[in-house]
Amino acid sequence: MEQSLNRIHDRKYVTDLYSHFRGSARVSLNSLGQFGPYVRDPHQEAIQALQTAFSQEGCRRLLPSNFIPVILTNAELQLAIERSNLHKNDLIERLSPPPFLEIPAGALTCLHGRQRVEAARRSLLGEDQWWTVDLFVDTDNTDWQRMMAEEYTRSCQFTDGEIFVKIRLHAKSAAHFAERRWWAQLSKRKQDFLRSFLKHPICRSFDRLLFIPGIWRGMNIGVLDKVMALKCDEVGS
Q: Are 31 and 129 contacting, i.e. CB atoms less than 8 angstroms apart?
A: no
Q: Which amino acid is at 8?
A: I
**Chain Cα centroid distance, residue 32:** 14
pLDDT of 135: 93
Query: Dihedral (C-alpha) 61, 146, 72, 112: value to the nearest 10 degrees?
Result: -20
pLDDT of 79: 96
pLDDT of 61: 93
Kind of pairing between the strands at 32-35 and 21-28 = unpaired
Taking the whole predicted model, whether its pTM rises above 0.95 is answered as: no
User: How far is the CA of 30 from the CAs of 72, 101, 112, in angstroms?
Assistant: 15, 12, 16
pLDDT of 17: 64
The sign of the torsion formed by the CA atoms of 204, 205, 211, 213 equals: negative
Residue 178: enclosing H or E segment and its boundaries?
A: helix 176-183
pLDDT of 16: 64
Mean pLDDT by 10 residues, the chain (237 residues): 44 65 94 83 85 89 88 94 94 85 94 92 94 86 70 68 87 77 81 89 88 82 76 47
